[in-house]
Amino acid sequence: MTKIHSRLWIGLILNILIGSNNDSSIIHAGFEVANSKNKLIYVNPGYELQDIIRDGYTFVKPQMVGAGSASEIGEPDLPTVSTYYEVEPGKTYTAQVTILESDVIENVELFPSQGYQPEQFSNKNLVQNHLSQNNVFPQEIANISSPMVFRDIVIVQVSVTPFQYDPINKTLNIIQSVEIELDESGDTDMPFIPQKRSRSFEKLYESIVVNYESTNRNEDDYQRPAILYVLPSNIGNLLETVELLMDWKKRVGYDVHYVSSSGIVNNKNNLKDYIEEAYETWETPPVHVNIVGDATGSYDIPTWSESYSGYNGEGDMPYTTLEGGDVYPEVFIGRMSFSTSSHLNTIISKTLNYESNPYMGENWFQRACLVGDPTTSGISCVITNEHINEIMDLAGFEEVNTVYSGSFPSQMVSGLNEGVSFFNYRGYYGVSGFGSSDVNGTSNGFMLPVATVITCGTGSFAGSGESLIEAFIRAGTSSNPRGSVVCIGTATLGTHTMFNNLVDMGFYYGTLIEGIETPGSALVYGKMMLYKNYPNNPNNYCHIFTHWNNLMGESSLQMWTAYPQEINVSHPYDLTVGTNFIDISVDKNGSPLENAWVTILMDDEIFESGYTNPQGFVRLPINSDAIGEVLVTVTKKNHYPYQSSFQLHDPGVAIGVSESPYSIDDDNSGSSTGNGNMVANGGETLEIYVSAKNYGSEDASNVYGQIYSSNGNVTIDSLGAIVEFGDLLSGEAASGITPFIISLDDGIADNTDLGLVVSFSDSEGNTFNGMLDIQAAGNDLNAVSIDVVGSEDDVMTPGELSSIKIELGNTGATTAISVSGTITCASPFIEIIDNYGTWASVNPGGLAFNGDDHFEISALEETIPGAIAHLILNLETDDGYVSNSIIDIQIGQPTINDPVGPDSYGYYIYDNEDIDYLLAPSYNWVEIDAREGGPGIHLNALSDNGNNQDDVHTIDLPFTFKFYGQDYDQISISSNGWIAMGETDLESFRNYELPGVGGPAKMIAVFWDDLKLSNGGRVYTWHDQSEKKFYVEWSEVRTYQNNSIETFQAVLYDPSYYITPTGDGEILLQYETFNNTSYGSYGWDQIHGLYCTVGIEDHTMTRGIQYTFNDTYHQAAMELGDETALLITTRGSDIRLEGDLNYDERIDINDLMLLVDFNLGYEGQVNAYFGDINGDGMVNVMDLIALIQMIMNYGE
C-alpha cells in the first residue's frame, strides 16, 4: 500500500503593504531588492522535509510555504518560489546566480515528482527514471521568464528553486540565501505599451511588483481616463438612457466611447478583439469597460465560461486580459445587466444620482452593514466582517451595523433601509435566506450602498433567472430606487471560504486604506490578493476565483467613503470669443484645495481637464473660437461635485492670440541672446513674435498688446513689453510689428511654465487676454542610486569611513554641465567628513555618478545595524540650475545578534541573545497563574473551546499606555494570543503578516495563532503595582490544529515610570512553553496554518515590526523556543550628545535651565528620557548635579 503525508501549504497572507522595516529595500516572498539595479537577494524563509512512504520505502520531499514545483515527472520533487520584477521593454534576461549560504544533508532519498495527481499513485508504477542520472538537479537554481506586459509596464517572473539534489551521492544542498542578478541577454520584439500611463493601475503595480516605484511624473505622462461602453445591438431608443450616463462621464473628464455593432457585441471573441484594438490603437485607450446588457435574454452581450473547475463558471474577466497571455488585466470591467427598459432606467438613475447628486440629508456615507453567518461556513465569516469593521473604524466610519446571528433576512433588509454606503455579506450558499424578493423589499431610496455578497451562487448571472447581484442593481425604479448602486458576487456553487474571504477583505482594504476610488479597480485589488497569498495558484483556484467574482454596475463609479465636503470654485462666468484660457481656483473652508480634477466642456469643441496645484489653481486652455455655454465641473474624492458653466460670447471686437500663436528667436541677433535652438532656455533673452487675431464680428483699430508673466524667473524688457498689431478686420490675423522681449533667469528648470499672458487693447478701450503656452527647456536632476565604494550591497559599516558615489538622473531636455553637489544629514548616526562632489555632465535621459570626487561619510560605531539615514543632496550647475534630492543609505547589515528594526516609527525588538546590547532582555518568568500560586486574576470572560469559539474581551488598564504615539486606557485580549490597544470585537484566529490587514489594528501579536482554551487553558491578568507593570498570561492554552501546549505572557511597562525617547510604553514578551506547530492543511476543509505571528503594528496597519511569521524569522531574530524573551521598545534610536536637551549639539547653561524648569514642573520643555542624565529612571535634583558636572567638563 502507499501512505502519503501530504501538506500543501497555502500562504493566506493578506499583506497589502509588502515591505521590510528598511526603507531602502523591499522584501516580497523572501526576495529583497536593495539599491543595486537588476539585483535581488533571496533568503530561504524556511522549509520542512516531509516523509512519504511508498510500498515500504521512505522518501523525503522538501515543502515550503507558497511554493510550487517546476519538476517534471520522475525528476526530484523540489519546491520553486517566484516574484515579479519590472524590466526594460524589448529586452530579455538571464539569471546570474551567486550562492551566499547553503547547507548539505547527507543520505537523502528524494521523492520523484509524479505530476499533479497524487491520488492515482496506488494505481500506477512509481516513476523515478531521472533519479539515477549523474546530474545535479536542478542545474540552474534560478530562472527568468520571458517578459510579460501588465498595461503600462513590462515584468518578468524570477523563479528560484532553493535546493539542489545529487541523486548519485544522495545529498541535498539547501540554499539559504542567493543573489540573483538580471543580466540582459538579448533583444526581443518591443511589446505594446500605451504611450501614457493610467493612474488607476499604479496601486496594483506596487502590490505585486517587487521593484516598482511610483515616482513624481509630469501630468503629460498620464492619459485622460477613458471608458468604453458595450451596448446591445438592439439598444434602439434606449441609447438615450445610456447617453445620460455617458454625458455625465464626459462632463467629469472621461473620454467616452461606445460600441453596439451586432458583428462585434454579439460574439465574445469579436468583442474582445475590438477591446484589444481600442486598447492598442486609440489615442486614449479605455481604462474602464462597461458592458450594458445581460448575458442572456432580450438585451444580451455574451460572457465567458472558465474551464479550470468543472463548474464552467461565468465571468467577464477575459475581456480585460489583452496583453501578455496572463491574468493581470489591462482594463477594469463592470456589467450593467438589464432585461427591461425599466431596469436600465433604474440602473442609470442610481449611478447618476449617486455620483452627481448624492442624498445629503444625513451621513449615510459613513454607515455600513456587515453580515457574517457562521452557521455553515464557520466563524471566519464573522471574523472577516469584524476585520472589515476595523478597517472602517480606521477610515472614520461612524456607525457600522453588524449582523452575526438571529433572523438574517429581516436584519439585512433593516440594515439596508437605514441607509449605508457599504453592505457586505459573508456566509454560505443561499445568503442565509436573503434573496431577490428581500432586495426588492428594501426602502433605502437614494442612500445606495456598494454591495459585496461574495459567496456561492450570488454572481451566477448567465442563467435564465435573476442572480442576486443583478437584483441588487435592478431593484426599485428610477425615482424610487432600492438595493444598491453596484454589487459584487461569485458565480457557481463551488466557492471556498478562504478565497472568498481574501477577495472580500482585499476589496475593502483597497477601498478604505489604499484609497482606490472605483469598484472596478478595487475588485481587481481584491483578486490580486489571491496571487499574492497563493502565488502558486493551487489547483487553479486563483484563476478560478479571479474569473468567478464579477462586478454588476458601473466600473468607474466614484465611491463615497465619507460625507461629501463642499467646495468653493472661482472662475469667470463670461469670456469673449478667442480667449484661449480660463483660470479656475478651488478652495475648501477658505484653504486652497490641491488635486481637484477640473474639466471644461462644450460639445465637441472644448474638452480640457487638469488638476489644481497646491495653491488650488489650474489654468486650462480654450482651443476653439466657438460661441456658447461651456460646462465647468470640479470633482475630488469625497467632495460634492461642483457643476456650473461660463459663456463664450461675441462682443463685436474680440482680440486674442491666433491659432499659430508665436515663434521664438534666440539667435543672438537683434535683442536676443541664446543658443539659436528656438527654444526657451535659462539665461537667454528671447524675442517672441506673436500673432493676434480678431475673433469678433466687427473690425478693430489700433490694436496693441502688452506682455506679462506670473513667473518670478521671467523679466519683461521695458523696450519689448508693448507690441503694435495695427488694424484687424473681423477674422483677420496679423503678426506684431516688433517682438516681445523677455529674459529668463539662469538655470530655469525643465518644463517650467513661463506664465506669459498678452493683454490686448484697441482704440475703443476694449481689453482682452491671451495666453502664450511656453515652457522652458532645462535640467531636471534627481538622485537615483547610491554606491558605497567597496561594498557589494552598498551598505556602510558602523564605525568606519565610507566613500560614497551618488548616481544622478536627468529627466530634463538639456545636458547638465559642471554639476556640483553638497550633502547634509540630520541623522545622529552620520558624520559627514567630505560633503562635496562633482559631475562633469549628465545627458538628457541619462545617468551619471560623481567620478573620483567621492563623498566621505562616517557612521557611528554605536549605530544599530540596519538603520537608515536620509541624505539631502543639494545640486547646482554653472549655469544657475539649483535643486535638491533625498536618497537613503543603509548603515550595517543586521545579524542574529542585533535587534530587529527599527520600523518607521522607531520601535525595535531585542531578544535575549542580543547579548552585546544592554537592552537585551533576560528570561525571568513571573508566574501569575493562580493555579500555580500566582497573583493573577482569571479572565473568565474569555471562552474558546475550539472550532468557531474564538473570543476577545476588553478590560481597563491600570495606567495610560502609549503605543505608536497614541494613548490607550483599555486593551482587548484575544484567546488567539494577541492584544489590541483600545476596544475591538475582532476575534482573528487566522494569523497574517505584520503590518497588514487580517487582524486588528494597534496590535501586539504575542503568539498569534488559532488557539483554544480547552483542557485547562486560561488567560490571567495582574497589575504589579510596586513594579508598575501589567501582566497578561496565556497559560497552558493549546493550538487548534495539533493541540500543542503554549504558555506565554506579555508585560506592559507603565510609560510614566519606565521612560523612553518617544514616551511610548515598553513591552516584554516571555515564552515559558513555545511549540510552533500549526503548519496547516489543504483540502475542502482547510486549516489555515502558517505557524504563529509575533510582532506589532500601529493603528493604521501600515507601520510595524514582524519578528516571525510562518516559521520564518527576520534576519536579526533568534528562533523562539522555551524560556525565551523579547523586549519591544523605542530605545535604540536615540544616539545623540548626552545632556544636549535643546538639540543644539552643545552642552551648556541653556540645557541646565531647561532641566531646572522641568524639575519645577514645566514638563513640556524636556523629554523625560533625555532629562534622566544618571539613568536611574527618574528626573530629579541628582540629574541637575550630573548635568552641571558634564557642563564643567564639556570641551576638555
pLDDT tier, 724 (very low <50, low <70, confident <90, very high otherwise): very high
pLDDT of residue 117: 38
pLDDT of residue 545: 94
At the top level of CATH, the class of 2-208 is mainly beta
Q: Among 796-800, 960-964, 1107-1111, which is the least confidently predicted range?
A: 1107-1111
pLDDT tier, 1132 (very low <50, low <70, confident <90, very high otherwise): confident
Q: Among 198-212, 328-342, 475-489, 576-590, which is the least confidently predicted range?
A: 198-212
Which helix (H) or strand (E) is 1106 found in, with range? Answer: strand 1104-1109
pLDDT higher than threshold 90 for residue 299 = yes
Q: What is the DSSP string of 570-625?
A: E--SEEETT--EEEEEEEETTEE-TT-EEEEEETTTEEEEEE--TTSEEEEE----
Radius of gyration of the chain (CA): 33
pLDDT tier, 941 (very low <50, low <70, confident <90, very high otherwise): confident
pLDDT tier, 513 (very low <50, low <70, confident <90, very high otherwise): confident
pLDDT higher than threshold 90 for residue 1140 = no
Cell reading at 156? 518578468
pLDDT higher than threshold 70 for residue 1124 = yes
Q: Among 218-232, 440-454, 833-847, which is the least confidently predicted range?
A: 218-232
pLDDT of residue 133: 60
Share of the chain above pLDDT 70, in %: 89
Question: Residue 564: is the preceding peptide bond cis (ω within 30°)?
Answer: no
DSSP 278: H
Q: How many CB atoms lie within 10 A of CB 1185?
A: 12
pLDDT higher than threshold 90 for residue 1170 = no
Query: Degrees (nearest 5) of the Cα angle 249, 254, 258?
Result: 75
pLDDT higher than threshold 80 for residue 694 = yes
pLDDT of residue 1183: 75
Q: What is the mean pLDDT of residues 945-965?
A: 86
Q: What is the mean pLDDT of residues 586-611?
A: 96
CATH no. for 568-649: 2.60.40.10
pLDDT of residue 120: 28
pLDDT higher than threshold 90 for residue 150 = no
Cell reading at 357? 447628486
pLDDT tier, 55 (very low <50, low <70, confident <90, very high otherwise): low
Q: For 338-374, how does the pLDDT look when each residue is reduced to its tens digit (9 = 90+)?
A: 999 999 999 999 999 999 999 999 999 999 999 999 9
* CA gap 825, 126 in Å, rounded: 64
Share of the chain above pLDDT 90, in %: 59
Contacts of 216 (CB under 8 A, 6+ apart): none
Contacts of 351 (CB under 8 A, 6+ apart): 245, 485, 553, 554, 557
pLDDT of residue 715: 96
At the top level of CATH, the class of 781-890 is mainly beta
Q: What is the mean pLDDT of residues 788-807?
A: 91
pLDDT of residue 11: 28
Contact 1080, 7 (CB under 8 A): yes
Nearest to 519 by CA among 423, 434, 393, 649: 423
pLDDT higher than threshold 70 for residue 1088 = no
Q: What is the mean pLDDT of residues 1063-1069?
A: 95
- The model carries a pTM of 0.73
Q: What are phi and psi of 498, to 5 degrees?
A: -60, -45
The larger pLDDT score, comparing residue 268 to residue 128, is at 268
- Unique residue bearing C-alpha cell 542585533: 898
CATH no. for 655-765: 2.60.40.10
CATH code 3.10.580.10 for 226-552: no
Q: How high does pLDDT run on average in the chain?
A: 87
Q: What is the mean pLDDT of residues 936-943?
A: 89
Q: What is the mean pLDDT of residues 624-648?
A: 97
pLDDT higher than threshold 60 for residue 115 = no
Q: Among 303-312, 801-810, 911-920, which is the least confidently predicted range?
A: 911-920
- The amino acid occupying position 199 is R
Contacts of 436 (CB under 8 A, 6+ apart): 466, 468, 471
Q: Among 57-61, 486-490, 659-663, 745-749, which is the least confidently predicted range?
A: 57-61
Contact 24, 17 (CB under 8 A): no
pLDDT higher than threshold 80 for residue 781 = yes
pLDDT of residue 458: 96
The larger pLDDT score, comparing residue 108 to residue 1020, is at 1020
pLDDT higher than threshold 50 for residue 1010 = yes
Cell reading at 469? 447581484
Q: For 806-820, how does the pLDDT look when each residue is reduced to its tens digit (9 = 90+)?
A: 999 999 999 999 999
Q: What is the mean pLDDT of residues 201-220?
A: 74
pLDDT higher than threshold 70 for residue 745 = yes
Task: Identify the top-confidence range among 68-82, 150-164, 194-208, 425-439.
Answer: 425-439
pLDDT higher than threshold 70 for residue 998 = no
* CA gap 759, 710 in Å, rounded: 13
Beta bridge partners of 423: 369, 451
Q: For 24-33, how does the pLDDT look when each residue is reduced to its tens digit (9 = 90+)?
A: 334 455 788 7
Residue 546 burial by Cβ neighbours in a 10 Å radius (0-12, 13-18, 19+): buried
Cell reading at 34? 536593495
Nearest to 531 by CA among 544, 518, 521, 522: 544
pLDDT higher than threshold 60 for residue 20 = no
pLDDT of residue 7: 24
Q: What is the DSSP string of 675-707?
A: -SSSS-BTT-EEEEEEEEEE-SSS-EEEEEEEE
Q: Among 84-93, 124-133, 373-382, 1039-1048, which is the least confidently predicted range?
A: 124-133
The residues spanned by each domain of the chain are 2-208, 226-552, 568-649, 655-765, 781-890, 908-1129, 1149-1193
Strands 148-150 vs 68-69: parallel, antiparallel or unpaired:
unpaired
Q: Among 192-201, 973-982, 1135-1144, which is the least confidently predicted range?
A: 1135-1144
Q: What is the mean pLDDT of residues 754-771?
A: 95
- Unique residue bearing C-alpha cell 523677455: 742
Q: What is the mean pLDDT of residues 962-970?
A: 96
Same topology for domains 226-552 and 781-890, yes or no?
no
* CA gap 834, 789 in Å, rounded: 14
pLDDT higher than threshold 80 for residue 948 = no
pLDDT of residue 214: 60
pLDDT tier, 536 (very low <50, low <70, confident <90, very high otherwise): low
Q: Among 55-59, 458-462, 1102-1106, 1145-1149, which is the least confidently predicted range?
A: 1145-1149
